[in-house]
């Protein structure tokens, strides 16, 4: 058994469970990632080759530049308004916004129209973002949640690997009911999974899930769905578009996707709370339902590989490598593979776009 006492958050979780009883997976996830003192995103900079994991914007500037070009196109598609909010959720180190804005600078009218809004709860990462974006050419506002986002201008929203960090609930099939999975204590005081008392109302579940075998695990993402619904309602009122990129599945299915990663390696979910990244795959079918708010709806889901290739990943990579050493060119080729190859990030990561009907979106609405 892993040593669970190695983390600073562990004793606090044990005390909470002793006082209040078994804790749903969603609470565990929220505390591990967001505890103000010992939460994962509150204490460390986990990104990059030396961190725990690497995200697309940290793999290559090509990713952010292509998203930047998409956003400029979206701004034009909604009529090039003279005031617009570019909103990034969970900006990490700020690399994606910096790369997007480098492209935006090529369109001074766009840069002049926008303010940048970053939704980020970690004070530590806010400081890093502030540094990365010091010369980005736009005024920046930080937000704890969607509640304080501007409500009088169109929004151009981007979220890369944000929704996978939001708390999910897990339910375990047990004699024709779905019982919530919780974290309790074994008789030696170590954290362990156990069934809780709450059950899932399965009225809306697809029929094939109603006959799932005992022990099957079903995940739900109430927090993520609520945020997406809020964004769709805002887009319906204020205008604009959203681009959501994450790893996930296109149809509701049973299966456990909650995982912990430390040092680029999977580790036990209960092993070192607060010191490993915890994520779960995103259910894009649930997202499409949450985002349905006429005239706004989700466009058909696309893989990250298709999305980047349609927007000229290979051509941009060629430009970036032109006249450079063969070592640099090999590096760029590796990055392109990493971002778009089906066996790397290309298929696992999906891209969902939201926009009012009739707005033409690059990559999604092309012949
Ligand atoms: N988009 C970045 C980082 C992804 S990691 C990239 O692609 O590199 C997840 C990010 O979301 C971190 O910045 C983390 O601090 C932030 N985050 C996690 N939960 C959050 C929440 N509930 N509200 C706002 N930000 C959150």
For residue 321, how far is its CA from the centre of ligand 1 (angstroms)? 31
Q: How far is CA 279 from the centre of its chain?
A: 9
For residues 195 and 130, what is the distance between their CA atoms, to the nearest angstrom?
A: 43
Determine the Cα–Cα distance for residues 281 and 34; give it in Å rounded to an integer.
18
Query: What per-residue confidence (pLDDT) applies to 204?
Result: 80
Domains, in order of start, for the chain = 43-167+221-356 (3.40.50.12710)
Joined together, the tokens standing for residue 319 give 């430009």
Strand partners of residue 183:
23, 193
Q: At how many degrees (to 10) do helices 313-321 and 326-340 cross?
A: 160
- For ligand 1, say whether the CB of 160 is within 6 Å of any of its atoms: yes
User: Is any atom of ligand 1 closer than 6 Å to the C-beta of 120?
Assistant: yes
Asked whether 161 lines ligand 1 (CB < 6 A), one says: yes
So what's the pLDDT on residue 290? 97
**pLDDT computed for residue 367 by the predictor:** 53
Mutate to test the pocket of ligand 1, among 36, 88, 161, 162 (most ligand atoms within 8 A of CB): 162
For residue 251, give the nearest of 206, 217, 198 by alpha carbon.
206
3-class SS of residue 316: helix
Residues sharing a CB contact under 8 Å with residue 39, sequence separation 6 or more, in sequence order: 9, 31, 32, 33, 122, 274
Pocket test for ligand 1, best of 31, 35, 41 (most atoms within 8 A of CB): 41
* Tokens linked to 201: 């109302």
Residue 50 C-alpha to ligand 1 middle, in angstroms?
18
The pLDDT score that the predictor gives to residue 128 is 95
Q: What is the pLDDT along the chain (367 residues), one digit of tens a residue?
A: 455 556 899 999 999 999 999 999 999 999 999 999 999 998 767 877 777 889 999 999 999 999 999 999 999 999 999 999 999 999 999 999 999 999 999 999 999 999 999 999 999 999 999 999 999 999 999 999 999 999 999 999 999 999 999 999 999 999 889 999 999 999 999 999 999 989 998 888 888 888 899 999 999 999 999 999 999 999 999 999 999 999 999 999 999 999 999 988 999 999 999 999 999 999 999 999 999 999 999 999 999 999 999 999 999 999 999 999 999 999 999 999 999 999 999 999 999 999 999 999 999 997 5
Residue 247 Cβ < 6 Å to ligand 1: no
**Cβ of 88 less than 6 Å from ligand 1:** no
Q: From the CA of 326, how far away is ligand 1's center (Å)?
A: 35
Angle at CA 167, nearest 5°, toward 161 and 170? Answer: 120
- How confident is the model at residue 4, as a pLDDT? 58
132: Cβ below 6 Å to ligand 1?
A: no
End-to-end CA distance of the chain: 55
**Span from the CA of 1 to the centroid of ligand 1 (angstroms):** 30
């Amino acid at each position: 058994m892993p040593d669970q006492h190695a983390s600073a958050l562990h004793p606090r979780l044990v005390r909470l469970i002793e006082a209040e009883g078994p804790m749903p997976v969603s609470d565990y996830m929220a505390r591990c990632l967001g505890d103000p003192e010992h939460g994962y995103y509150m204490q460390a900079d986990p990104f990059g080759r030396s961190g725990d994991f690497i995200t697309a914007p940290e793999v290559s500037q090509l990713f952010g530049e292509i998203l930047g070009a998409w956003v400029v196109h979206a701004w034009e598609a909604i009529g090039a308004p003279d005031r617009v909010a570019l909103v990034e959720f969970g900006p990490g180190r700020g690399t994606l916004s910096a790369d997007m804005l480098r492209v935006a600078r090529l369109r001074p009218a766009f840069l002049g129209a926008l303010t940048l809004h970053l939704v980020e709860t970690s004070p530590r990462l806010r400081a890093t973002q502030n540094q990365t974006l010091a010369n980005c050419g736009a005024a920046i506002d930080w937000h704890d949640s969607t509640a304080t986002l501007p409500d009088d201008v169109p929004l151009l929203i981007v979220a890369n690997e944000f929704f996978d960090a939001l708390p999910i609930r897990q339910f375990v099939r047990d004699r024709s009911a779905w019982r919530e999975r919780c974290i309790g204590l074994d008789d030696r005081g170590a954290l362990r999974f156990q069934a809780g008392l709450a059950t899932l109302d399965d009225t809306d579940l697809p029929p094939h899930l109603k006959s799932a075998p005992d022990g099957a695990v079903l995940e739900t993402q109430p927090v993520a769905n609520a945020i997406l619904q809020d964004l769709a309602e805002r887009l319906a009122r204020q205008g604009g578009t959203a681009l959501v990129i994450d790893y996930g599945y296109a149809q509701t299915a049973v299966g456990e996707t909650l995982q912990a990663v430390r040092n680029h390696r999977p580790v036990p979910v209960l092993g070192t709370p607060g010191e490993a990244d915890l994520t779960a795959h995103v259910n894009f079918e649930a997202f499409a339902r949450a985002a349905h708010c006429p005239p706004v709806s989700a466009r058909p889901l696309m893989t990250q590989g298709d999305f980047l290739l349609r927007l000229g990943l290979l051509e941009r990579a060629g430009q970036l490598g032109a006249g450079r050493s063969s070592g640099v060119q090999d590096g760029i080729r590796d990055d392109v593979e990493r971002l778009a190859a089906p066996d790397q990030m290309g298929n696992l990561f999906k891209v969902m776009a939201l926009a009012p009907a009739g707005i033409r979106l690059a990559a999604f609405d092309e012949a």
